[in-house]
Amino acid sequence: MLDAHLVVDRDTFRLDASLTIAPGEVVALLGPNGAGKSTALRALAGLLPVSGGHVTLRGKRLDDAATRTFVPADQRDVGVVFQDYLLFPHLSALDNVAFGPRCHGASRSHSRSIAADWLARVGLADHAHAKPRQLSGGQAQRVALARALAVGPDLLLLDEPLSALDAGTRMDTRAHLHHHLADHPGATLIVTHDPLDALILADRLVILEAGRVVQEGDAATITARPRTDYVARLVGLNLFRGQARRDIVTLPGGFTLTTSEPCEGPAFVAFPPTALALHPERPDGSPRNVWSATVAGLQRHGDHLRIQLSGPLDTTADITPAAAAALRLEPGSQVWAALKATETRVYPDSAE
Ligand SMILES: Nc1ncnc2c1ncn2[C@@H]1O[C@H](COP(=O)(O)OP(=O)(O)OP(=O)(O)O)[C@@H](O)[C@H]1O
């Protein structure tokens, strides 16, 4: 349904990313600050022309640098929910939602009846006459979603749809959004920083870094085999790249890690923060991977403490507060880190 190759130049930044989304599919576009997510969303919405490549939606060319085709935003079958919703403050919820169909040529009364129907579907029939300032954040988000869906868009774009909400509202609104996205027959793209939103709402993740797609796939594949530091942090893993020879991976500084599975050639080694055990003295016995590390930082992480370690490897370890107290950990402390080979995952560093 959506087939796009987006090349957009903004001063020194270049976005060069391909994106396809099937009808009914929900794709999350994730990436660090400045990766180009908003630029991609704006190009798809028709708020920025591409300088190369194309945007094709349901077989229709919306943008093509080569043929100088450019369909403006208001003539695209695209619905957008912006981060801060951009509701018209002087219009009621009903008129905000009716605005979309009205712009797409529906009569005033028909637009209002479509809007009333959509407000009912998002559970806000009782708030039709409320102005945006009388709505809670979660309700405003629903009005913005209803407004975007009311035009029956072939492509729905959501820019950080939950970021303006507090944690409690976020959970409810996420569940609500999930329900509506599952029913949407068109393509959906969600731009988000939040891995939880991506994992819950999307069928597929596309990871953008410095204007390029670095990894894409379903959550299980990406979680099992991250390919960049950003993705590894996103899914909460320590990740290293090196040269594998049988069950030994040699990292660029010469440090070696023993893995439980064999691999050959360029390879990634990943392990979770819980796989690292910390000891005051060099541990005896079985672990094959043992090194001396310095505590660079400590943070609370749920029930655990997350310890940043520097040394031959920069890693994070999760330990219990009791273990941290017994080890008397503080920034600058020296510890021994042990990692069992069976806790590591090794996979080839080759193009997918
Ligand atoms: N109006 C602009 N003019 C010039 N450069 C811009 C403009 N807007 C964004 N950029 C640059 O384009 C790059 C990508 O920005 P973009 O906002 O698309 O990233 P993002 O992934 O959405 O980031 P964030 O998560 O912080 O919103 C950045 O380097 C930014 O400085």
Q: What are the DSSP calls for 129-193, one per residue?
A: T--GGGS-HHHHHHHHHHHHHTT--SEEEEESTTTTS-HHHHHHHHHHHHHHHHH--SEEEEEES
Q: What is the pLDDT of residue 9?
A: 95
The verdict on 33 and 105 lying in the same domain is yes
Q: What is the pLDDT of residue 139?
A: 92
Confirm or reject: Cβ of 31 under 6 Å from ligand 1.
yes
pLDDT at 235 over 50: yes
Tell me what ipTM this predicted complex has: 0.95
Q: What is the pLDDT of residue 165?
A: 82
Q: Regarding beta strands 315-319 and 304-310, do their DSSP bridges make them parallel or antiparallel, or are they unpaired?
A: antiparallel
Summarised one tens digit per residue, pLDDT across range 207-226 is: 999 999 999 999 888 888 89
Confirm or reject: Cβ of 215 under 6 Å from ligand 1.
no
Q: Please, what is the average pLDDT of the chain?
A: 92
The verdict on 223 and 310 lying in the same domain is no
Query: Atom 26 of ligand 1 has which residue's CA nearest to it?
Result: 33
The verdict on 271 and 311 lying in the same domain is yes
CB 241 within 8 A of CB 260: no
Burial 108-132 (b: 16+ CB within 10 A, else e): eeebbebbeebbebbebeebbebbb
CB 221 within 8 A of CB 347: no
> How is residue 132 written in tokens?
């945006």
Q: For a pocket test of ligand 1, which of 7, 12, 13 has the largest count of ligand atoms closer than 8 A to its C-beta?
A: 13
108-121 and 137-149 helices cross at what angle (nearest 10)?
Answer: 130
CB 76 within 8 A of CB 94: no
The verdict on 222 and 293 lying in the same domain is no
pLDDT at 145 over 60: yes
Distance 312 CA to ligand 1 centre (A): 35
> How is residue 349 written in tokens?
């560093």
pLDDT at 286 over 70: no
Indicate the Cα dihedral angle 202, 208, 213, 219, nearest 10°.
Answer: -30
The verdict on 21 and 81 lying in the same domain is yes
pLDDT at 273 over 70: yes
Q: What is the pLDDT of residue 168?
A: 77
Give Cα 254 to chain centroid, integer Å. 34
CB 157 within 8 A of CB 184: no
Band of the pLDDT at 325, cuts 50, 70, 90? Answer: confident
> How is residue 301 written in tokens?
């992480």
Give the torsion sign (CA, 346, 229, 214, 202): positive
Q: What is the pLDDT of residue 164?
A: 80
Say which residue, 240 or 352, is predicted with more confidence.
240
Closest CA to 348 of 232, 252, 262, 257: 262
Q: Which atom of ligand 1 is nearest to the CA of 35?
A: 21
Alpha-helical segments (H) within 34-136: 37-45, 93-103, 108-121
Distance 261 CA to ligand 1 centre (A): 41
CB 186 within 8 A of CB 156: yes
pLDDT at 323 over 50: yes
What length does the chain have?
Answer: 352
Distance 36 CA to ligand 1 centre (A): 6
Q: What is the pLDDT of residue 195?
A: 82
Query: Atom 17 of ligand 1 has which residue's CA nearest to it?
Result: 38
Domain count along the chain: 2
The verdict on 122 and 248 lying in the same domain is no
The predicted model gives 331-352 an average pLDDT of 88
**Which domain, by its residues, includes 251?**
236-278+285-348
Confirm or reject: Cβ of 37 under 6 Å from ligand 1.
yes
The verdict on 264 and 338 lying in the same domain is yes
The predicted model gives 188-199 an average pLDDT of 89
Summarised one tens digit per residue, pLDDT across range 95-107 is: 999 998 888 888 9
Percent of the chain with pLDDT strictly greater than 90? 73
The predicted model gives 3-27 an average pLDDT of 97
Q: End of a domain among 210, 229, 248? A: 229
Confirm or reject: Cβ of 109 under 6 Å from ligand 1.
no
Distance 17 CA to ligand 1 centre (A): 15
Q: What is the pLDDT of residue 287?
A: 64
Q: What is the pLDDT of residue 352?
A: 42
Percent of the chain with pLDDT strictly greater than 70? 99
pLDDT at 350 over 90: no
Confirm or reject: Cβ of 35 under 6 Å from ligand 1.
yes
Query: Atom 10 of ligand 1 has which residue's CA nearest to it?
Result: 10
Distance 247 CA to ligand 1 centre (A): 42
Confirm or reject: Cβ of 10 under 6 Å from ligand 1.
yes
The verdict on 200 and 262 lying in the same domain is no
Say which residue, 162 or 113, is predicted with more confidence.
113
CA dist., res. 342 & res. 339, Å (int): 8
Confirm or reject: Cβ of 36 under 6 Å from ligand 1.
yes
Distance 192 CA to ligand 1 centre (A): 14
Q: What is the pLDDT of residue 351?
A: 53
Distance 33 CA to ligand 1 centre (A): 8
The verdict on 195 and 292 lying in the same domain is no
Summarised one tens digit per residue, pLDDT across range 16-75 is: 999 999 999 999 999 999 999 999 999 999 999 999 999 999 999 999 999 999 999 988
